[in-house]
Homo-oligomer: A and B are copies of this chain.
Amino acid sequence: MTSVTSLFAPVESDLSQMTDNLKQLVGARHPILYAAAEHLFGAGGKRVRPAIVLLISKATMADSGLKPTHRRLAEITEMIHTASLVHDDVVDEADVRRGVPTVHASFGNRVAVLAGDFLFAQSSWYLANLDNLEVVKLLSQVIMDLAEGEIQQGLNRFESELSIEAYLEKSYYKTASLIANSSKAAGVLSGVSEPVAMNLYNYGRHFGLAFQIVDDLLDFTSSMDALGKPAGSDLQSGNLTAPVLYALEEKPYLNVLIEREFAQETDLEQAIDLVLSSKGIQRSWDLAKHHAQLAAEHLSDLAPSASRQALHTLTEYVLSRGH
């Protein structure tokens, strides 16, 4: 399988430029945020979200190339994503992400809250200055959805009655909304028609759902080394994902363990084993595959190009992670 880096070849230099800009922007004026910026925009981030924005921008501009507003949109997308990660880590009291300590763990709550607020603030300012009210609306909806997703996740901890539909809704808020709306926004900035814009939105939505389902699967099927965080950590914190919700249908004892919030020493380990030995893993892969295929089908408006090909290959790549 191709690496994600080679997939991004059509926009690789644009992505490097973006990363440098973001480090400068956050770090240059504020020593207090400098270390956080290095940390946030340094090695490790896959930059999937801005890559999709840039690939869609190229694919919808034919030979005219990227506009400055496309590049700015990619930056905004990565800033919003990063801001929400930083605050999520405060809220979840997470100490490790992508195998490195979180901003919250390294620099404390104070810097983490400030850094997140600064990134949200800078992104709304950039957004306003794109001078496109439709794009402002699309991305401010994302900021709302991210807050909604984080709150829903907080409300539904250890809620074993959660339906797959409610899980997908939460996954939309937490992950797919940003990819869907920024994909559409990239098309809007290129001046595509409304039906094409909606197809780009649905590409992003289904890709985002597949991406999140695979992420949730990897929490069970990957090792600590590959994940950069302990396996089963979603389950431990009461965040019930697709593999668990499917497993609950065939393993009633799993419900007992969840209801008592893994109070006894071997509870978590037993619960993980129950999930792994259920059909939940395969059914979740099937669900991810379903959304990845739907994503690919929404690319049919785009003329053939290296960027369109990369967007298509991404829908296969998302399924190959950890398989």
Contact = CB atoms under 8 A, between A and B. Distances in A.
A125 B151 contact: no
A141 B124 CA distance: 8
A101 to B, nearest CB: 18
A121 B147 contact: yes
Interface in A99-131: 109-110, 113-114, 116-118, 120-122, 124-125, 127-129, 131
A283 to B, nearest CB: 30
A144 interface: yes
A21 to B, nearest CB: 17
Interface string A58-101: 00000000000000000000000000000100110100000000
Contacts of A143: 120-121, 124-125
A154 B36 CA distance: 15
| Most chain B beta carbons < 10 A, residue from A90, A121, A131 | A121
A286 to B, nearest CB: 32
Contacts of A118: 147-148, 151
Interface string A153-169: 01100000000000000
Contacts of A93: 110
B117 A30 contact: no
A34 to B, nearest CB: 11
Contact of A151 (B114, B136, B148, B155): B114
A109 B109 contact: yes
Given A33-B151, A140-B124, A144-B121, A114 B131 contact: no
A268 interface: no
| Most chain B beta carbons < 10 A, residue from A118, A131, A147 | A147
Nearest to A88: B113
A31 interface: yes
B32 A151 contact: yes
Given A87-B117, A113-B90, A154-B32, A137 B147 contact: no
Contacts of A31: 155
A96 B323 CA distance: 52
Contacts of A30: 151, 155
Contacts of A122: 144, 147
Given A30-B151, A114-B150, 7 more contacts: A31-B155, A110-B154, A114-B147, A118-B147, A121-B140, A122-B147, A128-B140
